[in-house]
Amino acid sequence: MADASAPFPHPVRRVVSLVPSLTEAVAETRRELLVGATDWCERPRDLDVTRVRGTKNPDLRAVIELAPDLVLANEEENREPDLAALREAGLRVWVTEVRTLPQAFEALDLMLTRGLGLDRPRWLDEAEAAWRRPPALAAEVTAVVPIWRRPWMVLGRDTFAGDLLRRLGVRNRYADHPDRYPRVPLEELNRPGSADLVVLPDEPYAFHREDGPEAFPGLPAALVSGRHLTWYGPSLVRAPQALGEALAAPVPAGG
């Protein structure tokens, strides 16, 4: 967790977030701290801050001009050259690294309490409680989990989303792949007998009932919320229930 061990001045009064999950986490805890966020930071819906473009191509000049006390980032969602440029401009950058649910809880607690100097929020306790006994499927199923098409890409090893699915009774077919987000031909994804289910989140690619299930005619398709599957923040409170319901009621194969 880059920069997280360094001492931070308090109080922090101005924050720019380059990660949708972290934007939502700060907004739910102390909204007035946020002065900037990416165009992809869609939660809360009524957030009124300066937009600084995307996670992969932030407007660095706009971030610097906002003069934040702290910039929030993630080692996977943001590019290191961008973060290095912000540091060179004299800004403090707090970088989270999240590959599992326990890491998410720890990272959020550290960021909010140590990085921002806030009290631990109630929603974080509620999220941990919600995941102590998640509504797992009655029997484990093996799934392929596409995150993109044209080309087809799926969840591979060592991913936060994969860890959530595992806790809900879904084994990721590509959990042992050497790549974290491998490109896999559709023919391989549809190999008979290799999976019981296809899980289709609505982000980063916006899979939906008319775009995605038809590519897997032999598999039932669970259409899930990408926010509940991939975001770590207040969304984790409802994620077990939302994901569990979607996994338990997939679109039938060929339907």
234-247: average pLDDT: 98
Query: Interhelix angle for 239-248 vs 122-130, to 10°?
Result: 30
Give me 36's structure tokens.
């900037």
Query: For all residues of the chain together, what is the average pLDDT?
Result: 95
Domain ranges in the chain are 15-120, 141-248
Q: Quick one: pLDDT at residue 2?
A: 43
CATH fold of 141-248, please? Answer: Rossmann fold (3.40.50)
124-132: average pLDDT: 98
Higher pLDDT pick, 250 / 254:
250
Q: Quick one: pLDDT at residue 11?
A: 85
Are domains 15-120 and 141-248 of this chain identical in fold?
A: yes
Task: Specify which residues 65 forms β-bridges with.
Answer: none
pLDDT at 224 over 70: yes
Longest pairwise C-alpha distance within the chain: 57
Q: Quick one: pLDDT at residue 5?
A: 42
| Percent residues over pLDDT 70 in the chain | 95
Q: In this structure, which CATH number among 3.40.50.1980, 3.40.1550.20, 1.10.3720.10, 2.10.69.10 belongs to the domain 15-120?
A: 3.40.50.1980
- Measured between alpha carbons, how far is 142 from 163 in angstroms, rounded to an integer? 13
Q: Quick one: pLDDT at residue 6?
A: 52
Q: Quick one: pLDDT at residue 105?
A: 98
124-147: average pLDDT: 97
End-to-end CA distance of the chain: 44
209-237: average pLDDT: 97
pLDDT at 208 over 90: yes
- Measured between alpha carbons, how far is 200 from 204 in angstroms, rounded to an integer? 10
Cβ atoms within 10 Å of 113's Cβ, excluding its own: 15
79-108: average pLDDT: 97
Q: Quick one: pLDDT at residue 169?
A: 98
Note the helical H segments in the chain.
Answer: 20-30, 60-65, 80-88, 101-109, 122-130, 160-167, 186-189, 226-230, 239-248
Burial class (CB in 10 A: 0-12, 13-18, 19+), 116: buried
Per-residue pLDDT band for 125 (boundaries 50, 70, 90) equals very high
